[in-house]
Amino acid sequence: MTVKVIGAGLAGSEAAWQLAQRGIAVELYEMKPHKMSPAHKSEYFAELVCSNSLRGDRLENAVGLLKEELRRCGSLILSCAEATRVEAGGCLAVDRDGFARLVTEKIRNHPNIKVIEEEVTEVPDGPVIIASGPLTSDALSEAIGRYFGETGYLHFFDAAAPLVTAESIDMDLAWWQSRYDRGTPDYINCALNREQYEAFIRELTTAEEAEVHGFEDKNVFEGCMPVEVMARRGFDTLRYGPLKPVGLTDPNTGKEPYAVVQLRQDNAEKTIFNLVGFQTHLKFGEQKRVFSMIPALRNAEFVRYGVMHRNTFLQSPRLLDKYYADRRNPMVAFAGQMTGVEGYVESTASGFLAAVAMAAKVQGKTVPEFPKTTAIGALGLYISDSTVENFQPMNINFSIIQPLEQRIRKKAEKNLAIANRSLAVIEELIAAGI
């Protein structure tokens, strides 16, 4: 039996790989390069758009735990990420182009995967996993709406940060350092004093925004909020958010700065850097004007300006089960950000779990149980929890993972204990042959 997978983003690529690794024939449908979404720039699979970072890698961090679970379970995305890794302190960051090329090569060379380059405009009969992403084409989006009924969709907006060239950063005013000196010094730090910060906030909050149809601040996903929207929440909001100076020392003064903009490398050559936390939908000219007020970026060369995207997701608690499958038809499953998981790693996890469950169904086996004690299982249980009110996209976090029975006072120690418990369960599942 052949399983169709729609979409070759992170979730779709992971799903196709997991099915194929279990001996199942896969038809992977991808509309690129014949048709591109507004956010995509290349013909490669698993293209990273919003940021090069797959976020924290420590087990005391929930996304670090999720990545470790996926690594141990043989994730294609995590293995390709490790192979194309670039230094970013305590984060897992990749050379985006090299990463996408490697995922594409692995998928196209797998003997059980047939890649079909065409747009899918209807929901296929099962078995199928639809992982067409938050920028699903209009035709397929409408088809999914018809499949579930017109009330099946919600939407929110997220945004991408601008990129600047390394050579245009004034290193007389900037310095290399990771917060609290953890790991190698992989971030370029750009300080602002109080006067500079005040001027920056004043211009940022009054700058002209690009038109985005239907945009309202309340529709912005909290985890990917435009910097100008965040700034409007209060004078010190950015200083307690992406511009927080704690754990950093300006070598020009020997003191902690008033505010700091951090830059993270966007490619392996360290020639392009991402303004961390500077997702935005300001007009391009306004981005150049306002962001150049940051002293070390006064002559910055912008190779990509920030852009705003409308992301669409399902009312999953009403529609999907904990394996991301249609409650009415378990042979039709969904994966990725359209299910309400938020983030590249979370999308990968949804594709993994949807595929593992689909493989078991197709092969007549018992579907493995990923409990709430695991990050993979907790995400599936979150998106399928019918008691959740006002369902919104969710990054993995320890609050949705089952708490410990014993009380541990220190947060880091508690999180590490949760992680170790989770990984023990994962090892049991691997030993049982998931």
* Structure token pair of residue 347: 């999308």
Q: Which residues of the chain have pLDDT under 50?
A: 213-215
Contacts of residue 41, defined as CB under 8 A and 6 or more positions apart, other chains included, come to: 47
Buried/exposed code over 76-105 (b: 16+ C-beta within 10 A; e: otherwise): bbbebbeebbbbbbbbbbbbbbbbbbbbbe
Contact (CB, 8 A) for 129 and 354: yes
How much is the pLDDT for 212? 59
How much is the pLDDT for 308? 75
Contacts of residue 302, defined as CB under 8 A and 6 or more positions apart, other chains included, come to: 162, 163, 164, 287, 288, 291
Q: Give CA–CA dist 42/36, Å, rounded.
A: 9
For residues 166 and 301, membership in a common domain is answered with yes
Q: Which residue has the tokens 């024939």?
A: 25
For residues 37 and 79, membership in a common domain is answered with yes
β-sheet bridge partners, residue 176: 188
Q: Give CA–CA dist 55/376, Å, rounded.
A: 16
- Domain with 242, as residue range(s), is 162-305
For residues 137 and 181, membership in a common domain is answered with no
- Residue 302's identity, in one-letter code, is F
Domain count, the chain: 2
Q: Give CA–CA dist 79/428, Å, rounded.
A: 21
* Closest among 47, 37, 44, 36 to 11, alpha carbons compared: 47
Task: Tell which of 281, 305, 329 closes a domain.
Answer: 305
For residues 133 and 32, membership in a common domain is answered with yes
For residues 300 and 318, membership in a common domain is answered with no
Q: Which residue has the tokens 């360290």?
A: 270
For residues 142 and 271, membership in a common domain is answered with no
Q: Give CA–CA dist 198/205, Å, rounded.
A: 11
Number of H helices, E strands in the chain: 12, 16
Supply the CATH number for residue 81's domain: 3.50.50.60
A 10 A CB-CB count for 158 gives 24
Is this prediction's pTM over 0.75?
yes
Q: Give CA–CA dist 122/285, Å, rounded.
A: 40
Q: Give CA–CA dist 282/90, Å, rounded.
A: 30
Supply the CATH number for residue 189's domain: 2.40.30
- Residue 420's identity, in one-letter code, is N
Q: Give CA–CA dist 276/375, Å, rounded.
A: 26
pLDDT digit string, tens, across residues 273-331 = 999 999 898 999 999 999 999 999 999 999 888 877 777 889 999 999 999 999 999 99
How much is the pLDDT for 58? 87
Q: Give CA–CA dist 188/276, Å, rounded.
A: 10
Contact (CB, 8 A) for 52 and 265: yes
Task: Tell which of 305, 332, 349 closes a domain.
Answer: 305
For residues 347 and 251, membership in a common domain is answered with no
For residues 146 and 183, membership in a common domain is answered with no
For residues 322 and 399, membership in a common domain is answered with yes
β-sheet bridge partners, residue 267: none
Question: DSSP per residue over 278-336, as a string?
Answer: ----B-HHHHHHHHTTSGGGTT--EEE--EEEEEEEE-HHHHB-TTSBBSS-TTEEE-S
How much is the pLDDT for 39? 62
For residues 28 and 148, membership in a common domain is answered with yes
DSSP state of 240: G
Task: Tell which of 305, 325, 344 closes a domain.
Answer: 305
How much is the pLDDT for 409? 86
DSSP state of 213: T
For residues 291 and 241, membership in a common domain is answered with yes
CA atoms within 13 A of residue 370's CA, in its CB half-sphere:
30
pLDDT digit string, tens, across residues 347-382 = 999 999 999 999 999 999 999 999 999 999 999 999
Q: Give CA–CA dist 47/408, Å, rounded.
A: 40
Q: Which residue has the tokens 């047939």?
A: 114
Contact (CB, 8 A) for 272 and 266: yes
For residues 167 and 282, membership in a common domain is answered with yes
How much is the pLDDT for 198? 97
H or E element at residue 418: helix 411-431
Q: Give CA–CA dist 28/125, Å, rounded.
A: 14
Q: Give CA–CA dist 56/249, Å, rounded.
A: 22
